[in-house]
Amino acid sequence: MISTDVIVLGAGMVGTSAALHCQAKGKRVTLVDRRGVGEETSYGNAGIVERDGLVPVGFPREIGALIRYGLNLSTAAHYHLSALPKILPWLWQLRAATDAAGIIRFAAAVETLNRHSIPEHRILAKAAGAEAFFRETGWVRLYRSHKGLAEAATLHDLADQYGIEYRHLTLAELKEMEPDLNPVGVGAVLWPETQSVSWPEGVTKAYADLFVGQGGTVARGDARSLRRGAEGWVVSTEAGEVSGTHVVVALGPWSNDLLDRFDLKFPLAAKRGYHMHFAPKGEATLRRPIVDIEKGYLITPMLKGIRLTTGIELAERDAPPTPVQLERLKPVARALFPLGAEVDAEPWLGKRPALPDGLPIIGPAPGVPDMWLDFGHAHLGFTHGPISGRLIAEAISGEKPSIDLTPFRAERFGRR
């Protein structure tokens, strides 16, 4: 039996960061995952550390958008008809949580995390020797219509309220910044404070290497083997059973698979998404991530090539891949930037863990002593991993968390 103080279940950016921060508090920590570090959602994301993520991905209210989504004609979203019976209750909750008042509540809560996200990443990156992955070029949101730009007014108003820098660009100014881009539409907005990385998996693995180098243990195992033992929590791994006083559940979209056994159930959906890498044509270069807002995709330079990431696919979490959006977006993205040959043999599929109000759960598990929850970060998991890890470590250590955890507590969805 391997004895430890804290077992962290899930070795994505969120879990790895929690393990590092618990270790920094003097805890013996074992990080457990069924796969390698950073090989699930933390592998395939856009690699963005956002400063400006103040508006949640909400339920569409405009009739034209509803029709496009309902007929599965949108490139921004796609759904499996067979999954609708399970998805519709979550969508109804999403609709209620992302009205005008809900957006204000989301912004007030998420800003407390966002303002610390880049500094916390930079602290870990420096200690882990991962600074070379980071880029301070900001990112650009491109708008194809005046209507789309007008709908961004809420984001801009909130950015003004919280003192976040942004700059409107004409297409000519964007072309000057990115000479190989062929921008279309009515304009763009540069968010210079947001940072990005050239390989998200590499950053996560560097943080894990730092954790191991400082005496931490990484083990392969199935989180569903977790049980109460004579001396606390026990989980089975390939290295043997691991016992610990505390357990942190950072399993992303798989969290409910474990928590069901402890009579805990949360409205957690898996927002599926795809990516594909392309070689740029000729000598074409891209310096920063570009989000084509109304088409619902992003292109960003990665070590492997230009990564094209899709929007949201609503389906059963473990359903076979259906990269419809990616196929529809290839010609759209190629018109925006000269993408060459596909680098990947097949598209990558990931699952973003999303709660209807857009906020993660960070804090103690209701009614389950010494269990801590850190999941549901949706589109901001890579961004929020280090700061949510700090908050979990502070709570486990009996300290007052440096950010009020009230908006992120599990009890907002009910006692159990």
Q: For residues 27 and 217, give the distance between their C-alpha atoms in angstroms, rounded to a whole number.
A: 12
The pTM for the full model equals 0.96
Question: Which residue in 405, 406, 376, 383 sits closest to 393, CA to CA?
Answer: 405
Tens digit of each residue's pLDDT (9 = 90 or more) over 196-234:
999 999 999 999 999 999 999 999 999 999 999 888 999
* Tens digits of residue pLDDT in 86-99: 999 999 999 999 99
So what's the pLDDT on residue 230? 82
Position 415 scores a pLDDT of 61
Q: Which amino acid is at 115?
A: R
Which residues of the chain fall below pLDDT 70?
415-416
Predicted pLDDT of residue 69:
84
Q: Which amino acid is at 216?
A: G
pLDDT in tens, 62-82: 888 888 888 888 999 999 999
Report CA-CA distances (Å) from 76 to 31, 135, 260, 274, 294: 35, 26, 32, 12, 7
Name all domains of the chain by residue range, CATH numbers in brackets.
1-58+98-134+195-267+356-416 (3.50.50.60)
Q: Residue 185: name the closest of 279, 97, 290 by CA.
A: 290
What's the pLDDT score for residue 262?
A: 95
Q: Which two tokens stand for residue 306?
A: 């230009």
- Kindly provide the residue ranges of all beta strands, DSSP E only, lying in 281-398, ordered along the sequence: 290-292, 297-302, 305-309, 312-314, 339-342, 348-354, 361-364, 371-375
